Structure 1
């Protein structure tokens, strides 16, 4: 690759650094925006196509699985075609997916668009993210955390806001148009900022068998995930396919362990610090999905939030992201990933325990504050664990460990979301049937409640027969809301358990030491050069961004 001018601190010129950061945020940020917005506006999209209540499970699940499966593919494409060519091609694919989704006349056309978006965004993740880290000069490399936390989790916050906007405007296609502007920006800036490179003719062979088995695993997993919510885990169309998918995934792991050039480097994660960091990141990703689905569902279904309420919700989220990102910038090198993870885990546990006992009368402000605290602290644990894993051990294997971690993190995220939807549906249905069985005119409390509602409606001019019917409907609606609240309490109990697991892995990370710092302290020239607890020393030579997303002097 042609050399790009470097600064004296081991980074690149300021304008190019800003460009790389923007290319990173807008490469896969729109995918996170769309994922979260789907939680809010799924009913609107389903009504557009007059599809079933669970029709949107197909595009969202398929897109998430495609994203996860393509995370290890990005570095392979970069090695083969170079950073510039791979990046430009992938953003064009995302643009195509956005166009197809925006004009989709049917649900299956939307599925194709979301599939292209997932494939391209997943491949872009480790194509550009390592480049942005190594583009920061050593003296300010800790500010990469602002990009990582602010970019990734800020996108989730904006997804909440844009989802509310689609509901308010009663239109959703403009969101895909908006997300289609991002790849156009990336295309223009990428052609200017990304250097032209020389692609080596001799490169590592492609792990074809690993790719085939991984594709088969994802394909087999897709069907039971789509039908899990309706059929349940006990269906013969669900659990046998999960068993088959597990067997295929075990085969994939076996292939990767014995491959000379694996897609996922399982052998690169073997030290306790690497394992604890991996657990921090993966478990906290599960916690994030629990918080997003549980918090937004509580806000929408239990509180009946208006557009203004959701805007306040998103504003609190954005403010929390900025605050936690700045805290991590100044404290990561001082206290280490483990200490940050411990602090963040305690906040998550506190919020989850409080939500476990929450009623429908909690204030919007308090709910928004608690959600922002939980979600952003989950992000703190996730990023701290991811960096702790990448920087622990041989620094030349950091990109392998990152690929291993983010592949499993996103794969588990794609799997866990349908299970959460199934849990809420099943548990709320059970609770509702129990409540409905107790709704009887022979019950004095129920009879008094129905009489009170009926009299109030009749006082407003409603005929008696219609008032009695509306009163019964109101009681049943309240029962449905109470059953959903009970299911959410169960979900928040799971979130508390996940918080405990985050805490345990963070304590393990802290017990292994503070770890390698992002910002390297200059050592005397007479000091022996060896692999220490900091990133490799920056040289005075000009640095070039390598095909693997690192820098070579």
Structure 2
């Protein structure tokens, strides 16, 4: 491929994962419109949002395994048509069963591609520009989440939702076209011993945990927390999760590498990513509800305000790419979480006479603060342990993060309705109180993010993403000792940069190779 092939890989990564992320957030915005199409009782009985999120989380660990067996190109060219089929099923159908099937296909295809594209994306950049990968991870992936929210707001404002899924399918079709010409096949296929050591117990337990959680959230919508079925469901799901973690910790070749993430940085990174994504979901739900119902903002102004979120995404992407190697994940998370604390305090004390410019500034800061915390958590977890296990560690973190987030949209909707119903007074005052309580939850989560980020900062800078050629020259004369894991002890315990060889070692266990040779 040509010299700037890493931008092509970046485009392929965004087209592989972005439409699925857009679909998740857009559907959360337009679920009221979809409910009118299929009927509220049917929608809550088989919630397509929940089905898609469950499939997304469940299939994340399958990505590296499938890439090892078949290679990236065949999986890419198979997964995206599956996503297109799921989008078309959802767009054309008015039957809840077909919609659920479509969302399952969307979530499964996105989950498979997530941990195939992230390592490929990072490795495609030259070693002195690897911090640019954060531009794509934050600007492309997190940006897709925000774009989905914007598109959902537009669809809700005009009262039509089916065009959203045609749009997502078209983006995936573009990804198929680009990959056909620019994504080359690679060496793949593990040894017979590796292929026979599939962790079937881990796979079965993961499916059971996801299914138990999904049924529990469905019962929650219908009967509430007071139901014995709901409480029993949460208990069963929790027990199954603990069994899964124990089994995966003990097994030799686990489906989810729990042992590789039981280090300070990965654990803190997991909590930071989870809390950050929940914070932005809660805040956006409260923001948009308040603006739509309480401040009587016009449709066009509401859409424009949501578009300002993209400015915050751009700020977060550029800042994280420039600052990560200089300040480390801890300080990056502190900056982002303090911004979120400020935003939530402002909303808790917001006056009715506030101008649109104040709202726009808060939207920008919300997106920027969340982007910085997500970058800190994601890269802190990835770089917070031995590099040969980087992919396994990131896969485990992503699975657990998505599993935690699976029912968040349902919990937000349930809490808002129940909280409003408990209030005395007019419907408007009740909704105002409910949204105020959502901001309070978001504020508490942002304070928690500050604490977690300080803990992350206390663990040190960690490995750098990129280094300049003269850094390589300085370290060349030295011959450091090698640990039992095949990684230099200096690289594990110090804050030195990551070299190409160490990146390649990180994927050797998966028989994964970079798409093309990287110039260093």
More off after superposition, 373-382 vs 33-42? 33-42
Of 249, 254, 278, the match for 1:257: 249
Shift of 1:111: 1.3
Distance 1:212 1:357, change over 3 A: same
Partner of 1:284: 276
Aligned equivalents of 2:500 and 2:243: distance in 1? 41
Residue 501 of structure 1 pairs with residue 452 of structure 2: no
Aligned equivalents of 1:198 and 1:114: distance in 2? 32
Of 345, 353, 358, the match for 1:366: 358
Aligned equivalents of 2:125 and 2:496: distance in 1? 15
Aligned equivalents of 1:193 and 1:98: distance in 2? 24
Aligned equivalents of 1:484 and 1:423: distance in 2? 11
Residue 63 of structure 1 pairs with residue 47 of structure 2: no
Residue 523 of structure 1 pairs with residue 485 of structure 2: no
Aligned equivalents of 1:241 and 1:33: distance in 2? 29
Shift of 1:549: 5.3
Partner of 1:294: 286
- TM alignment of 1:12-51, pairs within 5 A: 13-51=2-40
| Equivalent position SS for 2:308 | helix
Residue 214 of structure 1 pairs with residue 214 of structure 2: no
Partner of 1:538: 500
Partner of 1:356: 348
Partner of 1:444: none
Residue 195 of structure 1 pairs with residue 184 of structure 2: yes
Of 395, 400, 417, the match for 1:408: 400
CA contact (8 A) 1:519 1:534 kept: no
CA contact (8 A) 1:289 1:413 kept: no
In the TM superposition, what whole-angstrom CA distance separates every residue of 1:384-418 from its partner, at most 9, and x where no partner exists? 11111111221111111111111111111113332
Partner of 1:468: none
CA contact (8 A) 2:45 2:218 kept: no
In the TM superposition, what whole-angstrom CA distance separates every residue of 1:73-123 from its partner, at most 9, and x where no partner exists? 111111121111122111111011011111113222111111110111111
Residue 173 of structure 1 pairs with residue 171 of structure 2: no
Aligned equivalents of 1:86 and 1:412: distance in 2? 26
Distance 1:380 1:57, change over 3 A: farther
Q: Alpha carbon RMSD of aligned pairs, Å?
A: 2.4
Residue 513 of structure 1 pairs with residue 464 of structure 2: no
Shift of 1:360: 4.6
Of 309, 327, 333, the match for 2:325: 333
Aligned equivalents of 2:449 and 2:88: distance in 1? 39
Residue 310 of structure 1 pairs with residue 302 of structure 2: yes
In the TM superposition, what whole-angstrom CA distance separates every residue of 1:356-396 from its partner, at most 9, and x where no partner exists? 23355433332232123123311211121111111122111
Aligned equivalents of 1:516 and 1:74: distance in 2? 25
CA contact (8 A) 1:341 1:380 kept: yes
Aligned equivalents of 1:504 and 1:549: distance in 2? 37
CA contact (8 A) 1:141 1:518 kept: yes
Partner of 1:8: none
| Equivalent position SS for 1:310 | helix
Q: How many residues align?
A: 496
More off after superposition, 384-393 vs 519-528? 519-528
CA contact (8 A) 2:44 2:221 kept: no
Aligned equivalents of 2:506 and 2:356: distance in 1? 50
Distance 1:385 1:85, change over 3 A: same
Stretches of structure 2 that go unaligned for 5 or more consecutive residues are 481-487
- TM alignment of 1:95-494, pairs within 5 A: 95-202=84-191, 203-204=194-195, 205-431=197-423, 434-435=424-425, 479-494=426-441
Shift of 1:57: 7.0
Shift of 1:201: 4.5
**TM-score between the two structures when normalised by the length of structure 2:** 0.90
CA contact (8 A) 1:291 1:375 kept: no
Aligned equivalents of 1:537 and 1:139: distance in 2? 10
Distance 1:227 1:63, change over 3 A: same
In the TM superposition, what whole-angstrom CA distance separates every residue of 1:275-316 from its partner, at most 9, and x where no partner exists? 222322222122122122222222223334433122212221
In the TM superposition, what whole-angstrom CA distance separates every residue of 1:223-278 from its partner, at most 9, and x where no partner exists? 22123134211112211111111111111112111211111111112332332223
Q: Which runs of 4+ in 1 moved over 4 A?
A: 542-553
| Equivalent position SS for 1:129 | helix
